[in-house]
Amino acid sequence: MNFYKMQGAGNDFVFIEDFNNEIEDECLLAKKLCDRHFGIGADGLVIVRKSEIANAKMVIINADGSRANMCGNAIRCFGKYVYEHNIANGDRFSVETGDGVKDIEIILANEKVRYVRVYMGKPSYDGRDIPLNNMESIIKTDITVDDKTYNMTTVLLGVPHTIIFENDKEYDVILDGSKIEKIDLFREGSNVNFVKIIDETHIKVDTWERGAGATLACGTGCSASVVVAKKLGLVHKDKEIFVKAPGGELVIEVLGDDVFMKGPAEVVFEGKLSL
């Protein structure tokens, strides 16, 4: 079986095709391939399949074998993969995900893929959507975890994301993120983003991803951080926001309730799997 290793802003994935649905245990396969010592090493496994409602279907499984409905960096890599492998015609096409169908736009420079722009959907603060236990929403709410209090906002944008602004406090993405991810409020866990406001059009985001841990970038996390920052009036309400993650920069645009993400995607290497 052929594979491709791809990365978007440092968030890395193993890509394989499974057009005939031949993989028997994809979660076990993800754990094996994503292991950085005994496998290829990645934050997640991405499976390329046929779709009856879009040009292609993206299945993503975290490094720990858990499933994810959506991943922003993965879908940018997926868009580049679909375009360069002629799975879809043209520079605009659709991708089926666990969070619905996403529209993709390929932005070229000198006939090569420079950026991939993705429609990320609409955010929801409704506790039923996130989903939350025994709370209607979490917006600028003080939550105490192990005797430490965090002011947090949680939003669903493909997957649940909890946003914590740290301009006045410093947090440890691993220690604090791992604790917050699994608190009882979150029925299915939550990704955790620690955000610093740089100016009205620039922010910095460090993300703890459920199922993957601290990553170099999280596309849905960067998008969710901008959505919340705009809602709370911390950045310019009408302009694109440039988001600096440890692995690179993404550009997030919010038009009404619609969220768009733009950023790079690269092939790292390719090879053959021995299963």
Query: In this structure, is residue 94 part of a structural domain?
Result: yes
Q: What percent of the chain lies above the pLDDT cut of 70?
A: 100
CATH, residue 180:
3.10.310.10
Q: What local confidence, expressed as pLDDT, does residue 183 receive?
A: 97
69 is in an annotated binding site: no
Based on the domain organization, do 89 and 180 belong to the same domain?
no
Same domain (yes/no): 146, 87: no
Check whether residue 87 and residue 11 sit in a common domain: yes
**Co-location of 249 and 163 in the same domain:** yes
In a domain, 275, yes or no: no
User: Whole domain around residue 188: which residue ranges?
Assistant: 141-260
pLDDT above 80 for 167: no
180 and 106 fall within a common domain: no
- 37 within domain boundaries: yes
The residues that are catalytic are 71, 218
| Residue 170: band (very low, low, confident or very high) from pLDDT cuts 50, 70, 90 | confident
Domain identity same for 104 and 28: yes
Q: pLDDT digits over 84-137, tens only? A: 999 999 999 999 999 999 999 999 999 999 999 999 999 999 999 999 999 999
Domain count of the chain?
Answer: 2
18 plus 72 within the same structural domain: yes
**251 and 192: one domain?**
yes
254 domain-assigned:
yes
Based on the domain organization, do 92 and 162 belong to the same domain?
A: no
Q: What digits encode the pLDDT tens for the residues 35-74? A: 999 999 999 999 999 999 999 999 999 999 999 999 999 9
151 and 231 inside one domain: yes
Tell me, yes or no, whether 115 and 152 share the same domain: no
Does residue 133 lie in a domain region? no
62 is in an annotated binding site: yes
Specify the pTM. 0.91
11 is in an annotated binding site: yes
Q: Is residue 60 part of a domain?
A: yes
| SS (HEC) of the chain | CEEEEEEECCEEEEEEECCCCCCCCHHHHHHHHHCCCCCCCCCEEEEEECCCCCCEEEEEEECCCCEECCCHHHHHHHHHHHHHCCCCCCCEEEEEECCEEEEEEEEEECCEEEEEEEEEECCECCCCCCCECCCCCCCCEEEEECCEEEEEEEEEECEEEEEEECCCCCCCHHHHHHHHHCCCCECCCCEEEEEEEEECCEEEEEEEECCCEEECCCHHHHHHHHHHHHHCCCCCCCCCEEEEECCEEEEEEEECCEEEEEECCEEEEEEECCC
Residues 86 and 156 in one domain: no
Q: Give a yes or no: residue 196 inside a domain.
A: yes
73 is in an annotated binding site: yes
For residue 78, being part of any structural domain is answered with yes
